[in-house]
């Protein structure tokens, strides 16, 4: 904490700003550091929501209630509008609720457009022929790319958060969607250098490219990169032409086959069996381990955590944090896979709905379920999701790899006292604590 207190706040949004550079201790307007930090927190959560709303709108789905909340949230952070710390905590909780609504909207958009995901095996090697790697979160962009590359002989690969696309019937129907390459977003530079294919960045989590592949990279939607051709709309002809000008990849199967596409319907179709296995002690505990991954060294925790779990536990996962663990063979418990990939970060809504259904099945509240959330965060969607989980009253979440930098002692006190939020420590210690408590 001592380190963080060096910069209590930072705001330079109006002309009164201290020394003409920035208010860093207290606002010239009187804004306290904790209020400034809570304003930042609210803006970060709403940014996360905006990303999901963008992808829902791409598919023709909008919600004026969410738009109205966003206006109110942004307005509250203007100069001389709201100096009330407690109200900003309430607004963050409201943002969490609105983000649930947003994730529901996006899930509806995905399912109504591409069908509900089904468990699907995904290859991780290359297939002989020219190729395109699509990275990011944009199912709409990927769907259009698949349509336009049909019959061209080009193979399409997903990277990172597009892995869950393989589970959607409306996307997996394309035979030239041949596999997933690489892991979470931060291996891009090494991965894109390695494979001489065209690359399409469809959303956030694109990295400034290395020179050796800059001319074969393209962006679309919200993504933009220096010196990289941007495609407005969904005509991917330049990407296809680039792929056709590049050498063929060799046939080289990957070391692992991944499984993705566990939807709410698929998991809940197993609910009677799950209930029986829990009641007979064959499943002792469920964990949700995932979230936004980052290259921070401390993030190795999440793999070690899952590797150290007893065999009578089931792990649900989602978002790019899954790549820390989805190559592990955790086996099954009487036909129930011990590792269940629910999809992208916005599929946190699937996890929530499954948890709610299990709570109903066992006749208890979510906090009484033998379920613990162990989440990694990196960027603003994760902030929105964290507030969604807190808004649902979920307590005892383990968060890592680090405490968000805008959380000061005051905010941490609220998060701990009201929500029992815990920071990850070491896997064995945390597992022991979790299994003892529940």
**Residues at the contact surface with ligand SF4, assessed by CB under 6 A:** 11-14, 16-17, 23, 27-29, 31, 79, 137, 160-161, 184-185, 204-205, 292-293, 319-320, 345, 378-379, 381
Residue 64 region by backbone torsions, left for phi larger than 0, else alpha for psi between -120 and 50, else beta: alpha
Smaller CB distance to ligand SF4: residue 166 or 285?
Answer: 166
Nearest-approach distance from CB 13 to ligand SF4, in angstroms: 5
Which SS3 state, helix, strand or coil, does residue 308 take? coil
Smaller CB distance to ligand SF4: residue 204 or 313?
Answer: 204
Nearest-approach distance from CB 219 to ligand SF4, in angstroms: 15
Smaller CB distance to ligand SF4: residue 33 or 243?
Answer: 33
Nearest-approach distance from CB 376 to ligand SF4, in angstroms: 9
Q: Which residues contact 282 (CB under 8 A, 6 or more apart)?
A: 312, 333, 334
| Chain residue whose CB lies nearest ligand SF4 | 27
DSSP 313-377: EEEEE-SGGGGGTTTS---EETTEESEEE--SGGGHHHHHHHHHHHHHHHTS-GGGSSEEEEEE-
Q: Which of 23, 85, 43 is nearest to 404 (CA)?
A: 43
Smaller CB distance to ligand SF4: residue 122 or 278?
Answer: 122
Nearest-approach distance from CB 203 to ligand SF4, in angstroms: 8
As a dihedral over the C-alpha atoms of residue 6, residue 9, residue 12, residue 16, rounded to 10 degrees, the angle is -100
The two three-digit tokens of residue 183, written as one number: 């892991």
The two three-digit tokens of residue 21, written as one number: 């550079």
Nearest-approach distance from CB 165 to ligand SF4, in angstroms: 13
Smaller CB distance to ligand SF4: residue 95 or 431?
Answer: 95
Nearest-approach distance from CB 391 to ligand SF4, in angstroms: 19
The DSSP secondary-structure symbol of 162 reads: G
The Cα 191–Cα 158 span in angstroms is 12
Smaller CB distance to ligand SF4: residue 176 or 322?
Answer: 322
């Amino acid at each position: 904490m001592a380190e963080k207190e060096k910069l209590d706040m930072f705001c330079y949004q109006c002309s009164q700003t201290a020394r003409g550079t920035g208010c860093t201790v207290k606002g010239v307007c009187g804004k306290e550091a904790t209020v400034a930090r809570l304003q930042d927190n609210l803006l970060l959560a709403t940014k996360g929501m905006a990303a999901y709303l963008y992808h829902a709108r791409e598919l023709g789905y909008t919600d004026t209630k969410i738009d109205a909340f966003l206006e109110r949230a942004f307005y509250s952070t203007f100069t001389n509008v709201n100096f009330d710390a407690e109200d900003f905590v309430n607004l963050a909780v409201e943002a969490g609720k609105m983000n649930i609504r947003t994730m529901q909207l996006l899930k509806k958009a995905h399912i109504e457009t591409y069908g509900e995901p089904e468990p699907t095996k995904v290859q991780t090697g290359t297939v002989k022929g020219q190729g395109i790697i699509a990275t990011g979160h944009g199912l709409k962009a990927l769907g259009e790319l698949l349509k336009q590359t049909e019959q061209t002989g080009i193979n399409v690969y997903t990277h990172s958060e597009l892995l869950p696309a393989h589970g959607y019937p409306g996307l997996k129907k394309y035979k030239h969607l041949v596999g997933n390459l690489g892991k979470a977003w931060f291996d891009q530079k090494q991965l894109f250098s390695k494979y001489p294919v065209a690359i399409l960045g469809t959303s956030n989590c694109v990295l400034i490219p290395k020179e050796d592949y800059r001319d074969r990279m393209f962006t679309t939607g919200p993504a933009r990169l220096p010196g990289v051709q941007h495609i407005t709309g969904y005509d991917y002809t330049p990407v296809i032409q680039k792929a056709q000008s590049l050498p063929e990849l060799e046939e080289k199967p990957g070391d692992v086959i991944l499984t993705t596409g566990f939807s709410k319907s698929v998991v809940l179709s197993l609910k009677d069996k799950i209930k029986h296995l829990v009641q007979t002690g064959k499943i002792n505990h469920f964990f949700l381990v995932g979230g936004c991954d980052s290259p921070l060294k401390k993030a190795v925790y999440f793999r070690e955590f899952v590797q150290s779990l007893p065999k009578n536990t089931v792990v649900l996962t989602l978002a790019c944090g899954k790549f820390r663990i989805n190559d592990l063979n955790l086996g099954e418990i009487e036909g129930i896979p011990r590792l269940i990939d629910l999809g992208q970060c916005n599929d946190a809504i699937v996890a929530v709905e499954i948890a709610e259904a299990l709570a109903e099945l066992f006749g208890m509240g979510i906090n009484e379920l033998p379920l613990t959330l162990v989440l990694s965060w990196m960027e603003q969607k994760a902030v929105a999701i964290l507030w969604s989980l807190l808004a649902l009253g979920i307590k005892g979440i383990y968060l890592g790899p680090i405490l968000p930098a805008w959380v000061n002692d005051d905010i941490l006190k609220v998060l701990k006292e009201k929500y029992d939020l815990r920071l990850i420590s070491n896997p064995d210690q945390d597992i022991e604590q979790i299994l003892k408590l529940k």
